[in-house]
Amino acid sequence: DAKTTQPNSMESNEEEPVHLPCNHSTISGTDYIHWYRQLPSQGPEYVIHGLTSNVNNRMASLAIAEDRKSSTLILHRATLRDAAVYYCILRTRLVAGGTSYGKLTFGQGTILTVHP
Amino acid sequence: SQTIHQWPATLVQPVGSPLSLECTVEGTSNPNLYWYRQAAGRGLQLLFYSVGIGQISSEVPQNLSASRPQDRQFILSSKKLLLSDSGFYLCAWSVHRAYNSPLHFGNGTRLTVT
């Protein structure tokens, strides 16, 4: 599986933007970049994903480098509820029983602390 | 809208006892289904995935097994639990035949084997 590298932890102040980096130098052409976050004692929550172009949704923005070897998750205004572990994952296409599915291999993620 | 249910939320079982964790999905048909485990630390490990009824693939050799008796039901089992089976078990689903669709996770079962 293609691997990602993230900082172990980051800190931010409430209402400030947060840029969470991710390196994925071994990414292949068909791998999508996915971001999930996990609050304590809960299952991971999907945040955003992209292939080559930058992406925006109601939760965050994803900026993807031109060579696709790195990406940055941007939270435009951090809130206390954004404190979580953020996972950057490469989604690889696999086929089983004639059906495509995308395996997600989670790394250690980045612990984001948001200060009031 | 789609929902995923896992139960129980917490479970304490003695070593050597059997295990059955159930996961059901509502609001979608023929989803891809997954079982993950999160042990000490933060990483999640994929245990099993299923692309259809009766189709189960295992990612790692272990003391656990999975079954999919119905389209939207996924069961994780063990005949005899080990201490090392303790952890946070998460079920997830994604859209069938869409390898890039996001995974949607349940709230998990925290299993403690004593």
**Residue in A31, A26, A29, A22 with CA at minimum distance from that of residue A108:** A22
Assess whether pLDDT exceeds 70 at residue A98.
no
Nearest CA in chain A to B57: A96
Residue A8 contacts B, CB cutoff 8 Å: no
Residue A92 distance to chain B (closest CA, Å): 8
CB atoms within 10 A of CB A51: 14
What is the predicted pLDDT for the residue at B60? 77
Cβ within 8 Å, pair A104-B103: yes
Q: What is the DSSP letter of B29?
A: S
**Cα-only R_g, chain A:** 14
Any idea what DSSP says for residue A46? E
What pLDDT shows up at residue A64? 97
- Confidence (pLDDT) at B17: 97
A75 has a pLDDT exceeding 60: yes
Confidence of residue A96 (pLDDT cuts 50, 70, 90): low
- B102–A46 CB contact, under 8 Å: yes
Question: Does A3 score more than 60 pLDDT?
Answer: yes
Please write down the long-range contacts of A59-68, taking CB distance under 8 Å and 24 or more positions apart: A60/A35, A62/A33, A62/A35, A64/A33, A68/A24, A68/A27, A68/A33
**pLDDT over threshold 80, residue B23:** yes
> A7: cis peptide before it, omega within 30°?
no
B74 contacts B23 by C-beta, under 8 angstroms: yes
